[in-house]
Structure 1
Amino acid sequence: MENGQAEFDKLLRRYLDGTSSKAGRKQLYELIVSGDFDAQIERDVLNSLKNEIDHPDSASEAARMNKLYEEKIKSEISQTTTVHFQKKEAGSQTFFRFWAIAASFTAMAVAAGLWYTSFSSERGTPPLSAQTERPASAPQASLTRFLDKQLVHLPDGSTVLLNDGAELTYDNDSFGKAAREVNLQGEAFFDIRHDPARVFVVKSGEVKTTVLGTAFNIKSLPGNNEVQVTVARGKVSVGTGSRTYDLLLPDQQLTINTANNTYLKKDLKSSVATEWQKGFLIFDDIAVGAAAEKLYQKFGVKVSFKKEMLKDCPITASFLYNESLDHILEVISTIHDFRYSYVSDGSEVVIDGDRTCN
Structure 2
Amino acid sequence: MSGQLELSGLDYRTGEPLRIVVEDGCISAIAPGSLSSPACEAGLYVGPGLVDLQINGYGGDDFNTLLGDGGEFPLERIARRLAARGCTTFYPTVITNGDEELCELLAAIDRACRLHPEWAGFIGGIHLEGPFISPEDGARGAHPLEHVTAPEWAKLQRWQEASGGRIRLLTMSPEWPGSDSFIARCAAAGLVVSIGHTSATPEQIRAAAAAGARMSTHLGNGAHRMLPRHPNYLWEQLALDELSCGLIADGFHLPDQVLKVIMKVKEDWAFLVSDAVSLAGMAPGRYETHIGGCVVLTPNGRLHMESNEDLLAGSVTLLPDAVSHLTERGLVDFGTAWDMASLRPALQMGLPAAQGLSVGAPADLATFRRAGTRIELQQVVKAGRLVSK
- Report the TM-score, using the length of structure 2 for normalisation: 0.23
- Report the TM-score, using the length of structure 1 for normalisation: 0.24
Q: Is the radius of gyration larger for structure 1 or structure 2? A: 1
